[in-house]
Amino acid sequence: MAAEGGGKETNEIKTQFTTREGVYKLLTHSEYSRPNRVPFNSQGSNPVKVSFVNVNDQSGNGDRICFNVGRELYFYIYKGVRKAADLSKPVDKRIYKGTQPTCHDFNPLTATAESVSLLVGFSAGQVQLIDPIKKETSKLFNEERLIDKSRVTCVRWVPGSESLFLVAHSSGSMYLYNVENTCGTTAPHYQLLKQGDNYAVHTCKSKSARNPLLRWTVGEGALNEFAFSPDGKFLACASQDGFLRVFGFDAAELHGTMKSYFGGLLCVCWSPDGRYIVAGGEDDLVTVWSFSDCRVIARGQGHKSWVSVVAFDHCTTSVEDGELPAEFSGSDEDFHEQIHIGAGRERANSSHSRLSKRNSTESRPVSVTYRFGSVGQDTQLCLWDLTEDILFPHLPLSRTRTHTNVMSATSPTATGQTVTTVSITSTTNSSGTNIKDNVSNSSATGNPANSLPDSLPRSNSLPQATNPAGGSTPNSHTGSSCSSNSSKGNSIIDSSFIANKFATLSLHDSRKERHEKDHKRNHSMGHISSKSSDKLNQLSSSRTAKAEAAKTLGTMLCPRMEEVPLLEPLVCKKIAHERLTVLIFLEDCLVTACQEGFICTWARPGKVGLSQNNPANSPSGTVV
């Protein structure tokens, strides 16, 4: 693990750190929080989350920031490294009664200086569409909680769409909505559309168009986070049962799965080119998974507690035989803004094919670095480099940038993908509601996996790992962790929604995809929940979970620690007093936030744009 630095007290909060690019510095003047700057009492509240959007303002100051603290939601002009934050002038502030905001997402396609579309998910299950610039509430979805009563864990606009969005709940279900449709006055009736290993997709039976368009039931337990691939074709889901599941979104096909070393998975992100996925969770590890090979290629050990956020740095990730396409060199918002879509949902395929061609076996880049970061409940920020010695171990190393060992493996190859379109539009109406959470778990079936090659050497600076689940000896297992299904052309979110076509679909083929083995939920007893029913469920299934976890350990689903390379962090610094909940990489800075409600801006090397000589007294850290 990286040293805390300089022999100073280990509890001291760091305000700068150094990488090979130079020094990253905390800008205390650029800290965003509630206007009174008082640390928020985070007991029992939902995590602080941050969303950004660029409104293409002619003044050159087009970034906008939204964040939630407790029952409050704030919307500011984000001045970043250029000017100090003025907390006395929020563009919009909302205080909710009876429910709390849990997550939010801007639509970059519709954002202008006069109007933005912001989705906000709530602890009682509703989703609100608001415009914080016009200070309007356009619509409230799941208002009567007839669709799902459990907490919203993640909400995202479907890439390339102005009207479709996806919502995940702690019940383990995801719902696809259209802002044009109403939610109805009765509970929806569903018809099975597709069933596969560990998941099922239902369509809503209704004479007229209504929400939700689709219901996905994924795994067992809460669905903690999902992330769309950069081209929008695939969906990675991190669940409380410890499984990462990757789907072809349009066809609802399971592409591959991975199992955490222990406990639930809490966060997930894609590399800028869509070739790798990083997940983190209750095993205190970051796990790197190859999309094309459907296998774990590395783990990172550096955190001392649960990993709450993982994110790739688009700006530092590089391929040395040619720069990455422009789509992959900015923030997520920048990327989505570059996907121009006329009347439908078009894909950024040209850049993806260029990158796939460059990364094919014939023309493998000799030097490549993927930079990603993670933050956790241990209040630490870790930065990691994934380099060619891990990705392409059969090639001569151009240089070593991380403390890792090489494992022999086949090189991943790019996969072909299909293009689909969906028509889109937008809308208006309604207000908030009070209610409590109620979590219902859905059952799951998982994939067995191929046994792995012999044990591999690990970084000798890290301690040897012990078996999880009480040190029991795991059983070996055989099978496959990656779907070989090639029929990706059958889109489930095309115009067939409006025509009642689903009744004629045959379920015979999809049922044949189901595998034999059931994976019970691997409950983490430390899972924070205010509901006694959750705790009873965890207690009743913990023994089964340990037994099932032991069966997957040592397989392709979950290799043993010594069977894959172990990364050490380039940087591992304590940067907050409370658990960290946000990590976002922007062009000239990175942004972190902690549960006390302080959103911090860290200037990249050479990007400090404002004087920090007389920093304001900041509750979130000391100045070095």
Amino acid identity of residue 74, one-letter, is Y
pLDDT of residue 66 exceeding 60: yes
At residue 109, does pLDDT exceed 50? yes
Quote the percentage of the chain above a pLDDT of 70. Answer: 63
Say if residue 520's pLDDT is above 50: no
Q: Could you tell me the pLDDT band of residue 11, with boundaries at 50, 70 and 90?
A: confident
- CA 168/CA 178 separation, integer angstroms: 15
Other Cβ atoms within 10 Å of 20 Cβ, number:
10
Most confident of the ranges 32-46, 189-203, 341-355, 429-443:
189-203
Averaged pLDDT, 275-303: 97
CA distance 70 to 287: 30
- What was the pLDDT predicted at 551? 80
Q: What is the pLDDT of residue 289?
A: 98
pLDDT tens, 538-560?
Answer: 554 555 556 667 788 889 999 99
Map tokens 């439908």 to a residue: 344
pLDDT at 618 over 80: no
What pLDDT score was predicted for residue 356? Answer: 42
Q: What is the pLDDT of residue 38?
A: 87
pLDDT of residue 60: 73
pLDDT, one tens digit per residue, over 111-150 is 999 999 999 999 999 999 999 999 987 899 999 999 999 9
Tell the residue number behind the tokens 């990757």, with chain if given.
246
Q: Is the pLDDT of residue 362 over 60?
A: no
> Residues with Cβ < 8 Å from 300, sequence gap 6 or more?
285, 286, 287, 288, 374, 382, 384, 566, 567, 568, 569
Of residues 498 and 591, more confidence is placed in: 591
Give mean pLDDT, residues 399-404.
Answer: 43
Q: How far apart are CA 348 and CA 45, in angstroms?
A: 39
Coil, strand or helix: which one is 202? Answer: strand
Binned at pLDDT 50, 70 and 90, residue 40 comes out as confident
Q: What is the pLDDT of residue 500?
A: 39
Q: Where residue 609 falls among pLDDT bands split at 50, 70, 90?
A: low
**Cα–Cα distance for residue pair 258/519, rounded to 1 Å:** 12
Q: What is the mean pLDDT of residues 449-465?
A: 39
Write the burial class of residue 25 (CB in 10 Å: 0-12 exposed, 13-18 middle, 19+ buried): buried
Share of the chain above pLDDT 90, in %: 55
Residue 396: pLDDT band (50, 70, 90) is low
Q: pLDDT band at 482, cuts 50/70/90?
A: low
One-letter amino acid at 501 equals K
Pick from 174-183, 192-201, 428-437: least confident: 428-437
- Is the pLDDT reported for residue 615 higher than 50? no
Q: Residue 3's pLDDT band (boundaries 50, 70, 90)?
A: very low
Q: How many whole angstroms separate alpha carbon 393 and alpha carbon 387?
A: 10
User: Would you state the pLDDT for residue 404?
Assistant: 40
The string of DSSP codes covering 396-410 is PPS---SS------P
**DSSP conformation class of 241:** T
Of 78-82, 139-143, 201-205, 345-349, which range is least confident?
A: 345-349
Mean pLDDT, all residues of the chain: 75
Q: Given a cut of 50, is residue 399 above it in pLDDT?
A: no
| Cβ–Cβ < 8 Å for 100, 71 | yes
Across 218-232, 394-408, 436-450, the highest mean pLDDT is recorded for: 218-232
Q: How far is CA 582 from the centre of its chain?
A: 11
At 252, the pLDDT band (50, 70, 90 cuts) reads very high
Question: What is the rounded average pLDDT of the residues 466-475?
Answer: 38
C-alpha pair distances (Å), 555 with each of 35, 275, 296, 453, 455: 51, 21, 10, 9, 12
Higher pLDDT, 369 or 504: 369
Closest CA to 372 of 459, 275, 242: 275
Backbone angles phi, psi at 260, to 5 degrees: -65, 160
User: Is the pLDDT confidence value at 434 over 90?
Assistant: no
DSSP annotation of 129: E
More confident position, 207 or 458: 207
The pLDDT assigned to 164 comes to 98
pLDDT given at position 10 = 59
User: If you average pLDDT over residues 244-254, what whole number do you get?
Assistant: 96
Instruction: Provide the pLDDT for residue 318.
Output: 83
User: What pLDDT score was predicted for residue 58?
Assistant: 73
> Please, what are the domains in the chain?
10-171+173-218+591-607 (2.130.10.10), 240-320+367-394+557-574 (2.130.10.10)
A 10 A CB-CB count for 394 gives 10
What are 572-583's pLDDT values in tens digits? 999 999 999 999
Whole-angstrom distance, CA of residue 239 vs CA of residue 219: 7
pTM exceeding 0.75: no
- pLDDT band (50, 70, 90) for residue 321: low
